[in-house]
Structure 1
Amino acid sequence: MEHEHRSFVELMCARAVEHGDRTALIFSADPLRAEADETVTYGELDRSARQVAALLQDRFSIGDRLLVLHPSGPGFARSLLGCMYAGMVPVPAPPPDGRQRRQADRLAGIARDAGAAGALADGTDLEALVSWTKEQDLGGVTVLAPHSAEAADELPAANRWRPPPADPHAPAFLQYTSGSTDDPKGVMVDHANLLANARILAAIADMRADRPVGGWLPLYHDFGLIGLLLTPLILGGRSVLMPPTAFLKRPHTWLTLIDRHGIDFSPAPNFAYDLCLQRITDEQLARLDLSRWRCAVNGAEPVQAATVEAFTRRFAAAGLRPEAMLPGYGMAETTLVVSGDRPARRAVITEVDAAAFERGELLAPAPGAPVHRIVSSGPAEHLDIRIVDADAGRTLPDGRVGEIWVRGPNVARGYWGRPAETRRVFDAVTPDGESGFLRTGDLGILHKGELYVTGRSKELIIVRGRNLYPQDLEAATREAHPALERGVGAAFSVPVPEEEVVVVRECRADRVAPDELAHVAARVRDRLTRDVGVPAQNVVLVPPGTVARTTSGKIQRRLLRRRFLGGELPILHADLSPAVRARLGDAAGGDAS
């Protein structure tokens, strides 16, 4: 990759000159129908970005923040690049959904936090967005649909565009965090961060311009924005995109897209691989050829060993190689990537002593002792990674669980408009005096050069001296009963006054009679006792869709905990301890038997 370019815009202009006829994007509205594909070249993308930029330069000022609210597709790419070409700061976000009040309120919070001056969207969404700005009292936000038929005649000529200064430290965009544990915050990613992240990701996955990248991840989320759109453009390669809703409705369309376009690199969170396992039929599997899929990246949430093994085993019949499954770890605060497994080696799954792991140590299990299995997120070789016990004021040795701290060229500049939090999170000093580290808020272990991510520090459940990770409790109960298999679960603790574990699981009530729900809850308790050794007195069954997730699929456990304590959950059945029932009082609702 070239190193002389000072900004993403400068690099994209060079790409248009060097190979303007090369395909930059393919958008497959329906991966099952090749005739539905739309192709955009580097030259076309550059021309449309210049036109949008000229339009924006007539209406806004350099540095203004503009919401980019298009659904995934060419319109999103044209508007995003148009903002960057104009010297303005795009803020990718999902458009408001009139049926989901919380999503509309979250977007309004982003608009206020960013001080957004405008919003770019599809013409079909224009009327709804104008109504949204009025409802949310966002009169200062100008809504534009630059690619609509009505606006086509008003777009200025591309030669009216005025290139912004090529400043590597100017903000390239604001990436709002998913908000799985806190309110969303705007991460300031500059051009140098973006180009450095592409170099690191290309080095980890051996990405090249002639190896297509593609998938369904939303482009307003960092995994989709940077992994699927911007990094392939920086490398001069080709990105193949599809609507996220197409995958969620029909998971086999993602793998069909990979097969049809010979995609080399396609990432997704752990839950997406689980969804494929649950819903792709043997008949659909028989029509797939996944032999060219070299990088099936699994990241954005803790990677489950059982998922890695089951997906590898099931899709071997379609030619998927065992070494294709690549666990990885990253976040918006590092632009995207921290670590990732190398292609051509199998995922590293390590068995450790379960009791020692709950004490925060990685030890080999004694013969016959309970074991816990953890998955490496790849070698710690591209960023400076430390494991720190900030409370005790010490950097931890290999094999000890602590907070993951990282330092490197792709670590972002900080949070927009939050200087105190930026200093605390992005400029941490290790106990031995080294500065400039990002505190990730994640817990992990370094062992034999590998980074193992164990969970979020804010979600750690401590019961009777045991450190329990919610994702382990959720995984243990997912298959406790057929009525739970396709639902999402969440585990958290409640102090009453000592911590008690609460497990909430979505349950398909149509699969069981009402008087059998108590049996389903009992099966959940049995699994927790047998597989994890946790006394699970509190099991709550809720309808499908109740457990909230972020845009990247992360379970919003703290939000669910607040709703549970506030009596806001639509409960089908709840087995609660006397202490938790007393804490809830009349708010327990539902069948709190």
Structure 2
Amino acid sequence: MTARTAETLLDIMLSRAAEHPTDIAYRFHRFGASETQDVLMDDLARSARAIAETLTRRGLSGERVILALPHGPDFIRAFYGCLAAGAVAVPVPMLKPGKEDRRFEAVLKDARPALVVVDQAALEQARSVVDRVTQDGGASAQVATVDQSEGDAAGWQRPDVSADTLAILQYTSGSTGDPKGVMITHGNFVANAKLIQSALRVTASSTGVLWLPFYHDMGLVGGVVMPMYAGATVDLMSPQDFLRAPIRWLEALAERKATITAAPNFALELCCDLASPEALAGLDLSHLSCLLTGSEPVNANTVERFIATFGSYGFRRDAVLPAYGLAEATLLATGTLRDKVGPTIRAFDGKALESGHPAAAQGNAPSRRLVGNGAPETRVRIAEPETGRPLGEGEIGEIWLTGESIAKGYFGRPELSSHGFGARLLGEPEAGPFYRTGDLGFVEGDDLFVTGRIKDLVIIRGRNIHPQDVEESATRNEPRLWTGGSAAFGVDRGAGEELILIVEAGRSSVSALKDEASGSALAADLVARIVEAHEVMPAEIAIVRPGRIPRTTSGKIRRSAAREEWRESGFAAGLIHRWTRPEGDGAGAFAGPVIGECLTRQDVEAWLLARLAHHSGRPPHQIALDEPFASYGLDSRTAIEMITAINGLNIARTVEPTDLYDHPTIERLLDHMFDPEAAQPAETKTDETSDLETEAAALRALLDA
């Protein structure tokens, strides 16, 4: 058996170790470190056997093993150790010392693992959490470090593992419900790695740089599985290092002359925001042949902005590969490179999209730009969601997928699995079974265009209104509102579906908007924008305080949860102003500092005061040293930008991405930077979550959605 003929990831790893024992399998970079941590093939195979021997001896073959480990060699060793034991790996984010982690507990309860593997620093905390969950009726689990899990490699025996054997549970959280464990098999891994290799044109001579976390499908499959399958070399940065200095990712691409990388839309936006001639001096991206972007909706403006920003540094348009993927398809579902052409970006008529029959935009009519995703091998069909009737090219319906990459279902949820993974097309019972993605889209030529989510659709008099379109058109460039703080949804109050919009006031606007005239004026402006863009009048607009709209741990708006809260209470808690459509108006359509010597505490204090004053629009004398950063409107994006700027100053201490959460005022951050022994992290609130805590959760979880 060779790596080319193997049907499991375990056998691929063992074959490569036998064929090329001294090859570097994975190379880890640390921010500011001069040397890398290399994982050699032979060492990896030995560690995997040693860990597997212990797991097998403890009777854990076939059991779930949670991996809550740092982004480094220990995770790689433990991951392949699970595979070599026939155990099921469950990658999750690390526990944070002293912090409550409800997501970790939810996964612990759902996965019912036999073992939890953590680093030494989290050992006692993990034992405490496991004990608490066990007392609440959850399954008991052992807790150990990687070193404690290593046994005698010579005593290892290959388990009965085949393509159909479960390899991992990939936990995913959407806008509703608890995290669900997607059951990925060895065969799924191999099939998707083959698909990615074809789409990205990966060879053994390819070099990659990736910073995405291993508990996310793009980080695990793109950074661990696919390089092993292809025999390619990958350099791995930690997600924290990327957040600390996003441009460092691009510098690593240039230094390694990398040919392949991947990142979600927000990472491209961050790099564009932080780009400057000084920051990019000497940058050469001409070796990069593929930048896969996905994991969240690919924004046409972001793609074009990135191309324009970095084109003069050697980045080519045809290196961009917009991709449609999801954990239920292992990772990649559609996407392909287009030589000398680049991504397909088209403007569609807004009304035509709402009607379900896309057409090219004409003149000044409201339009929406979409990015196409090619479909190389995963079979894609568009179906009417209610009936399963197959739709033709250019018709919008639910995206259904089938193929060898599609997972086996959700762990412990047979009914949900049957509905989601067992769909059949009307009139084509022999086709499939298909996975129902819940996403809406259409096929045109060899491109898949994703238009929205089924659950979020607002249907008014036969027209499909996408809530994200309403949110964007209503709140674009509106300084009185919190950026990204809006939720549009539909409700049926007996006379058909009606549109509701909830918006969060900007921090600096809360007091003013409590005035009836000011609140009414803002609501009137929002109504006018919605009517102009969509020719639909909302039934109600509620202006609420910042942070009131429900979000996931990664900061995504939970529209379904917002709808439920509106039904139950009308967002009475935190309501600033409510506008209701007058009776008789129908719901339907109608006409820095100088960098030289090391900066003092006073220097950095003055810099922070000026930075927050500029960001919030307040004069510097209104910025308080003991006021939370959240009071000045810092979201995850501006927080990352501020961290990057701080680390660009001439100071002795590096600021970590979560320091703005642990030390959430100027005074406490300065204590942490200049007197770390005296500084104490902020206590975690259990009854209320502030906006900055929400954003910090997004920084911690990254793409965990």
Mark yes or no: TM-score above 0.5: yes
Q: 1:361 aligns with which of 357, 362, 370?
A: 357
Q: 1:421 to 1:60 in 2, by over 3 A?
A: same
Q: 1:477 to 1:311 in 2, by over 3 A?
A: farther
Q: Aligned runs of 1:45-444 on 2, under 5 Å?
A: 45-97=44-96, 101=100, 104-137=101-134, 138=138, 140-147=140-147, 151=148, 155-344=150-339, 345-378=341-374, 380-432=375-427, 433=429, 434-444=431-441
Contiguous gaps of at least 5 residues in structure 1:
581-589
Q: 1:205 to 1:555 in 2, by over 3 A?
A: farther
What is the distance in 2 between the residues matched to 1:281 and 1:503?
36
- The answer to whether the Cα contact below 8 Å between 2:320 and 2:337 also exists between their aligned partners in 1 is no
- The answer to whether the Cα contact below 8 Å between 2:55 and 2:61 also exists between their aligned partners in 1 is no
The Cα of 1:560 is off from its aligned counterpart by: 4.8
Aligned to 1:538: 541
Out of 110-119 and 494-503, give the one that drifted further.
Answer: 494-503
Q: Deviations over 1:266-307 (max 9, x none)?
A: 222222222223344443233532222222212112211111
Contiguous gaps of at least 5 residues in structure 2:
583-689, 691-705
Aligned to 1:578: 580
Q: 1:117 to 1:570 in 2, by over 3 A?
A: farther
- The answer to whether the Cα contact below 8 Å between 1:488 and 1:506 also exists between their aligned partners in 2 is no
* Amino acid across the alignment from 1:117: A
What is the distance in 1 between the residues matched to 2:306 and 2:423?
39
Q: Aligned runs of 1:465-484 on 2, under 5 Å?
A: 465-476=462-473, 479-481=476-478
The Cα of 1:3 is off from its aligned counterpart by: 4.2
What is the distance in 1 between the residues matched to 2:568 and 2:280?
44
The Cα of 1:221 is off from its aligned counterpart by: 1.1
Aligned to 2:512: 515
- The answer to whether the Cα contact below 8 Å between 1:490 and 1:547 also exists between their aligned partners in 2 is no
- The answer to whether the Cα contact below 8 Å between 1:216 and 1:241 also exists between their aligned partners in 2 is yes
Is 1:445 aligned to 2:442, yes or no? yes
What is the distance in 2 between the residues matched to 1:568 and 1:224?
40
Aligned to 2:27: 26
Equivalent position SS for 2:279: helix
The Cα of 1:143 is off from its aligned counterpart by: 0.8
Out of 184-193 and 531-540, give the one that drifted further.
Answer: 531-540
- The answer to whether the Cα contact below 8 Å between 1:538 and 1:574 also exists between their aligned partners in 2 is no
Q: Aligned runs of 1:545-584 on 2, under 5 Å?
A: 548-550=551-553, 554-562=556-564, 574-578=576-580
What is the distance in 2 between the residues matched to 1:78 and 1:275?
32
- The answer to whether the Cα contact below 8 Å between 2:382 and 2:391 also exists between their aligned partners in 1 is yes
Q: 1:133 to 1:281 in 2, by over 3 A?
A: farther
Q: Deviations over 1:436-491 (max 9, x none)?
A: 11111111101112111112211223345432223334444665146769x43443
* Amino acid across the alignment from 1:119: V
- The answer to whether the Cα contact below 8 Å between 1:301 and 1:554 also exists between their aligned partners in 2 is no
Q: 1:328 to 1:489 in 2, by over 3 A?
A: farther
The Cα of 1:385 is off from its aligned counterpart by: 1.2
Higher alpha-carbon Rg: 2
Aligned residues: 567
Q: Deviations over 1:319-345 (max 9, x none)?
A: 211122221001111111110131533
Q: 1:72 to 1:287 in 2, by over 3 A?
A: same
- The answer to whether the Cα contact below 8 Å between 1:333 and 1:412 also exists between their aligned partners in 2 is yes
TM-score normalised by L of structure 1: 0.87
The Cα of 1:429 is off from its aligned counterpart by: 1.0
- The answer to whether the Cα contact below 8 Å between 1:122 and 1:145 also exists between their aligned partners in 2 is yes
- Kindly report the root-mean-square deviation, in angstroms, between the aligned alpha carbons of the 2 structures: 3.1
What is the distance in 1 between the residues matched to 2:403 and 2:36?
38
What is the distance in 2 between the residues matched to 1:42 and 1:468?
52
- The answer to whether the Cα contact below 8 Å between 1:384 and 1:407 also exists between their aligned partners in 2 is yes
What is the distance in 2 between the residues matched to 1:295 and 1:495?
43
What is the distance in 1 between the residues matched to 2:41 and 2:296?
33
* Amino acid across the alignment from 2:17: A
What is the distance in 1 between the residues matched to 2:492 and 2:385?
27
The Cα of 1:376 is off from its aligned counterpart by: 0.5
- The answer to whether the Cα contact below 8 Å between 1:387 and 1:397 also exists between their aligned partners in 2 is yes
Q: 1:42 to 1:569 in 2, by over 3 A?
A: farther
The Cα of 1:131 is off from its aligned counterpart by: 1.6
What is the distance in 2 between the residues matched to 1:577 and 1:524?
10
Q: Deviations over 1:122-174 (max 9, x none)?
A: 11111111121123235611111123xxx4xx732321222112311111111
What is the distance in 2 between the residues matched to 1:559 and 1:281?
40
* Amino acid across the alignment from 1:85: A
